[in-house]
């Protein structure tokens, strides 16, 4: 009762009414909603429908962010141009996976250092800075990571595909910061490279989607991709202690897979199919028919996540060539906006991970650059469209700046003897998110000096 009274008092002090959003627009900006627009101060009725406020840039005013009460949800997101360091990866920064290793409610990260055969643990200090250490060693070409509560104790465990040994290794998480090897998952005739573990609500056991193929790993990425054979991406269901194939998705190789099960139990799988230059979604809503959502010379990483909190799953892609991190926001269950580039690096992008790393209530995007040996993330700045649910009462300000282009700064951390150190790193943005098509892929991947790392 005290909480309700205090909220009523707050609303009165803010001069807001039930079922109404009090919107203020600064510096000559414009905000559109429904069939109306606002340039200074407006009262917006929410009694009948959800309302989404869309800022509109002009030559003289550019949208910066929202302030006041938080949006209930968003439609689209802006991200910081500066990157925040997560960790180094001296053997090549390949893959990232979120995992709350110490059960403190903040997202930690696991990363693969490919040619050193190790998994790196980056513990989130609660403000987006990380402390890093190596937790798994002696892997033979570790290719992918995932997290899932394998033993049902309430803590997500870690899975690593050990491509050189044709297995998926399971490490149990005790919730206090320790991982313990549990078992090797081996499927006859299957050599797991990319994979994703999930569970349908009504099923008794987890399922795994696996991309299996043979390839030459003695050289570089160019050699691996050009040597792929016996490729297959399929769903496998647990049957006792074994896994059996239940659905063939394609005869293509995936470098990264991610999966999502919606509230109705329908499965969607995202696949970065590097040899074909495509990122493809296989959705149960469409009987797993392939749908291309992004194209480039060499798509490497992919993640599915509801980035803007609107109940729809969005897609993030990391591209090795051109060096490009991209995001696409879903319009509805079957349609997505074209993916847009949010950052362009200096080397091939590989990893993808989505979580609120800096604990500001907005989801950030993490990635890695292979040959610069580093993992980092771009912090979310603001929702673009600011949504309020039906019946909402709120006071919010759309902040614009006049005569400027949007420049943002960010504090980042680099590892030094296990501690964090404040730095700034600028990742340039390119003017285009275009990429090469399949016939150009092998040639586009040069210069090979970026890739000529020998496996040891």
First to last CA, the chain: 65
**H-helix or E-strand spanning residue 7:** helix 2-13
pLDDT, residue 211, reads 98
Beta-carbon contacts of residue 19 (< 8 Å; ≥ 6 apart): 45, 46, 47, 391, 392, 393
DSSP secondary-structure letter at 155? Answer: S
Take residue 22 and report the two structure tokens written for it. 């009090």
- Alpha-carbon span 415 to 177, nearest angstrom: 19
For the cut 60, the answer to whether the pLDDT of residue 219 exceeds it is yes
Residue 404 pLDDT class (50, 70, 90 cuts): low
Query: Among 32-36, 155-159, 190-194, 442-446, whose mean pLDDT is lowest?
Result: 442-446
pLDDT, residue 435, reads 28
For the cut 80, the answer to whether the pLDDT of residue 10 exceeds it is no
Average pLDDT, the chain: 86
- Alpha-carbon span 152 to 266, nearest angstrom: 22
- Alpha-carbon span 330 to 328, nearest angstrom: 7
pLDDT, residue 145, reads 98
pLDDT, residue 318, reads 98
For the cut 70, the answer to whether the pLDDT of residue 390 exceeds it is yes
For the cut 50, the answer to whether the pLDDT of residue 379 exceeds it is yes
Confirm if 119 and 169 have CB atoms less than 8 A apart.
no
- Alpha-carbon span 123 to 325, nearest angstrom: 23
Residue 259 pLDDT class (50, 70, 90 cuts): very high
Q: What tens digit of pLDDT does each residue of 152-199 get?
A: 999 999 999 999 999 999 999 999 999 999 999 999 999 999 999 999
Phi, psi at 282, each rounded to 5°:
-110, 110
- Alpha-carbon span 113 to 372, nearest angstrom: 12
Neighbours of 385 (CB within 10 A): 21
Short-list 205, 173, 4, 6, CA closest to 98:
173
pLDDT, residue 240, reads 79
% residues pLDDT > 70 (the chain): 85
% residues pLDDT > 90 (the chain): 77
Residue 118 pLDDT class (50, 70, 90 cuts): very high
Q: What tens digit of pLDDT does each residue of 409-440 get?
A: 333 332 333 333 334 444 343 333 222 233 33
Confirm if 26 and 398 have CB atoms less than 8 A apart.
yes
Q: Is the model more confident about 388 or about 58?
A: 388
Residue 17 pLDDT class (50, 70, 90 cuts): low
- Alpha-carbon span 169 to 60, nearest angstrom: 56
In this prediction, residues 118-125 reach a mean pLDDT of 98
pLDDT, residue 333, reads 82
Beta-carbon contacts of residue 254 (< 8 Å; ≥ 6 apart): 193, 194, 211, 233, 271, 272, 273, 274
Take residue 423 and report the two structure tokens written for it. 């730095």
pLDDT, residue 342, reads 95
Beta-carbon contacts of residue 54 (< 8 Å; ≥ 6 apart): 31, 32, 33, 75, 384, 385
Short-list 212, 208, 260, CA closest to 236:
208
User: What DSSP string describes 103-132?
Assistant: SSSS--EEEEETTTTEEEEEEE-SSS-EEE
Q: Give pTM, 2 decimals.
A: 0.85
Short-list 89, 106, 71, 126, CA closest to 453:
89
- Alpha-carbon span 347 to 349, nearest angstrom: 6
Instruction: State the sign of the Cα–Cα–Cα–Cα dihedral 129, 134, 136, 141.
Output: positive
pLDDT, residue 407, reads 44
Beta-carbon contacts of residue 417 (< 8 Å; ≥ 6 apart): none
Q: What tens digit of pLDDT does each residue of 323-339 get?
A: 999 999 999 888 899 99
Q: What tens digit of pLDDT does each residue of 342-358 get?
A: 999 899 999 999 999 99
Residue 13 pLDDT class (50, 70, 90 cuts): very low
Q: What tens digit of pLDDT does each residue of 71-84 get?
A: 999 999 999 999 99
């Amino acid at each position: 009762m005290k909480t309700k009274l205090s909220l009523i008092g707050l609303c009165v002090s803010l001069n807001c009414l039930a079922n109404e959003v009090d919107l203020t627009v600064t510096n000559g900006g414009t905000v559109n909603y429904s069939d109306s627009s606002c340039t200074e101060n407006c009262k917006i009725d929410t009694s009948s429908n959800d309302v989404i406020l869309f800022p509109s840039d002009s030559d003289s005013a550019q949208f910066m962010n929202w302030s006041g009460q938080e949006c209930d949800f968003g439609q689209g997101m802006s991200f910081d141009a500066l990157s925040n360091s997560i960790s180094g990866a001296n053997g090549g920064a390949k893959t990232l996976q979120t995992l709350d290793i110490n059960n403190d409610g903040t997202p930690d990260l696991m990363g693969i250092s490919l040619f050193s055969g190790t998994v790196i643990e980056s513990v989130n200090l609660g403000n987006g800075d990380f402390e890093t250490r190596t937790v798994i060693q002696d892997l033979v070409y570790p290719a992918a990571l995932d997290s899932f509560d394998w033993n049902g104790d309430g803590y997500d465990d870690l899975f690593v595909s050990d491509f050189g040994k044709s297995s998926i290794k399971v490490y149990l998480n005790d919730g206090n910061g320790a991982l313990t090897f549990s078992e090797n998952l081996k499927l006859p005739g299957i050599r797991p490279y990319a994979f994703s573990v999930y569970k349908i609500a009504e099923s008794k056991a987890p399922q795994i989607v696996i991309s299996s193929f043979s390839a030459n790993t003695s050289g570089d990425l160019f050699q691996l991709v050009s040597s792929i054979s016996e490729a297959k991406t399929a769903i496998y269901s647990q049957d006792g202690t074994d896994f059996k194939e239940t659905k063939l998705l394609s005869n293509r190789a995936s470098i990264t897979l991610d999966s999502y099960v919606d509230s109705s139990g329908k499965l969607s799988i995202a696949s970065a199919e590097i040899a074909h230059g495509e990122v493809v979604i296989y959705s149960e809503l469409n009987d797993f028919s392939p749908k291309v959502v992004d194209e480039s010379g060499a798509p490497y990483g992919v993640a599915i996540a509801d980035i803007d909190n609107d109940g729809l799953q969005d897609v993030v892609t990391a591209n090795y060539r051109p060096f490009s991190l991209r995001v696409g926001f879903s319009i509805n269950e079957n349609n997505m906006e074209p993916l847009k580039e949010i950052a362009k690096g200096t080397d091939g992008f590989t990893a993808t991970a989505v979580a609120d790393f800096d604990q500001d209530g907005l989801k950030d995007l993490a990635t890695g650059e292979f040959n610069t040996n580093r993992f980092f993330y771009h912090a979310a700045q603001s929702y673009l469209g600011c949504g309020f649910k039906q019946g909402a009462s709120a006071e919010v300000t759309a902040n614009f700046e006049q005569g400027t282009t949007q420049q943002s700064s960010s504090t980042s951390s680099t590892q030094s003897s296990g501690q964090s150190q404040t730095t700034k790193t600028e990742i340039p943005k390119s003017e285009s998110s275009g990429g090469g098509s399949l016939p150009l892929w092998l040639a586009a991947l040069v210069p090979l000096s970026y890739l000529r790392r020998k496996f040891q």
